[in-house]
Chain A
Amino acid sequence: MKLGVLFSGGKDSTYAALLAKRADHDLVCFLSIESENQDSFMFHTPTINLAVRQAELCGVPFLSKITKGEKEKELEDLKDLIEEAVAEYNIEGIVTGAVESVYQASRVQKICNELDIECFNPLWQKDQIELLEDLIKNDFKIIVSAVAGYPLDDKWVGRVIDNKFIEEIIQLNKKFDLNPAGEGGEFETLVVNCPLFFGELEIDDIKVSGEGNSYRGEVELK
């Protein structure tokens, strides 16, 4: 089946794309929404500008749209973008990296239903720690690109997700009820390399800015 991937360049959407490819589907385009609203409920994509480069590394065409991030308008923008993918690439379905977020999942499901296309959520209800472990097992190189939650601070930005990271995040989950996969926006991720990529995203520098428990890294590529 020809599929478009709702792609943020983070761990969940990239892993979902890999699972779809391994199930013998054709990934014909990546779709990204860039929200001007940092508090958007739908789109958490602080490194959206890098998604273009990641799509190139996958050899998959990239479609994007900027939204103001107003609650219902951003859904119309997402629908427009998916319609564009249907028209341009004849996609028969969408792949998302939704794990627990019923807000995002229900809205994408409704849009796909209206457009009469399939909606695949291969990570749906997956255990958060198991998800992180799966990523390491599947040779994903992922860094933290932003944090927004106590007790995370600037030192977490740029960290690679490895077994040590998982151990620490399990402890923070027990102590502070921090979502271990960051699905509530506690941390954002950037996939630097994975089996979908033909090469690594070459990072030159990460400039970290923010305050308190909210920091983001501006990634500069070589």
Chain B
Amino acid sequence: MSRVLIISTCAEKLHELEFVRPIKKIIEGKCDFEIKHYSKVDLSFVKIFDKIIICGTSLKDNKFMENIDAFDWLKSFNGSVLGICAGMQILGMTFGDRLKSGPEIGFLFEEFSEEFLGIRDKQEVWHLHNNYVEFGENFDRFTNSKILQAVKYKEKEFYGVLFHPEVRQKEMILEFLKK
């Protein structure tokens, strides 16, 4: 059975009920998992996990960006990673891409150009972000939207989504567990 690490990016503990607990509920009973705040995680710790999910946080919470070096372990981690919203931004920033401002809030349709963790075609997804990453050539793109919604790092099994799959694309998270 996979060992999964769920990483919280929330500066406020109360936000974990909104951004971490829903992920926990989806994977509960399907794998062994542990939940940690990013500030308590380093390379020696993450090595014991096969898969990592980096959760999102609130619109106003940008504390993780001030501590982006805390995610340097991503460069050496060889398991699978799913970055959700803030987690996707962290993937981009860690591999040298640029953060830009572009708020999207609410239910919006996104068209997937090809299958991404079991998701395809047009999907209504839950957006909650003020920033996004302008991804470079290191990442494959799965939507044609101006603001990229789904990417995969070419060299590893690292996936990023800007929307929140825990709201209406729960099966995407379960598909990630199979990677």
**Which of B59, B107, B166 interacts with A113 by CB under 8 Å?**
B59
Which partner residue on chain B sits nearest A107 by CB separation?
B106
Tell me if B130 is interfacial: C-beta within 8 Å of chain A.
yes
Question: Hey, what's the 0/1 contact readout for A110-133 against B, CB within 8 Å counting as 1?
Answer: 101100111111111111000000
**Which of B22, B103, B106 interacts with A124 by CB under 8 Å?**
B22
CA gap between A45 and B143 in the complex, in Å: 41
Tell me if A1 is interfacial: C-beta within 8 Å of chain B.
yes
**Which of B17, B25, B106, B130 interacts with A102 by CB under 8 Å?**
B106
- With contacts A113-B130, A125-B166 known, is A118 near B17, CB below 8 A? no
- Nearest Cβ on chain B to A25's Cβ, whole angstroms: 7
**Which of A1, A102, A110 interacts with B12 by CB under 8 Å?**
A1
- Nearest Cβ on chain A to B77's Cβ, whole angstroms: 28
CA gap between A110 and B128 in the complex, in Å: 9
Q: Are the CB atoms of B105 and A117 closer together than 8 Å?
A: no
Complex contacts, A23 vs chain B, CB 8 Å: 12-14
A-B contact count (CB 8 A): 58
Complex contacts, B103 vs chain A, CB 8 Å: 113
CA gap between A120 and B21 in the complex, in Å: 14
Tell me if B58 is interfacial: C-beta within 8 Å of chain A.
yes
Complex contacts, A120 vs chain B, CB 8 Å: 12, 14-15, 18, 58
Tell me if A58 is interfacial: C-beta within 8 Å of chain B.
no
Instruction: Label chain B's interface by main secondary structure.
Output: mixed
Tell me if A40 is interfacial: C-beta within 8 Å of chain B.
no
Q: Which size bracket describes the interface of A in this complex?
A: 20 to 34
Tell me if A152 is interfacial: C-beta within 8 Å of chain B.
no
- Nearest Cβ on chain A to B142's Cβ, whole angstroms: 23
- Interface positions, chain B 36-63, Cβ under 8 Å from A, are 58-61
Tell me if B126 is interfacial: C-beta within 8 Å of chain A.
yes
Which partner residue on chain B sits nearest A116 by CB separation?
B60
- With contacts A25-B14, A118-B60 known, is A106 near B130, CB below 8 A? no
- Nearest Cβ on chain B to A103's Cβ, whole angstroms: 8
Question: Hey, what's the 0/1 contact readout for A90-113 against B, CB within 8 Å counting as 1?
Answer: 000000000000100010011011
16 contacts between A and B (CB under 8 A): A1-B12, A19-B14, A23-B12, A109-B106, A109-B128, A110-B106, A113-B105, A118-B12, A120-B12, A120-B58, A122-B14, A122-B18, A125-B18, A125-B21, A126-B21, A127-B25
- Interface of A toward B, CB cutoff 8 Å: 1, 19-20, 23, 25, 102, 106, 109-110, 112-113, 116-127
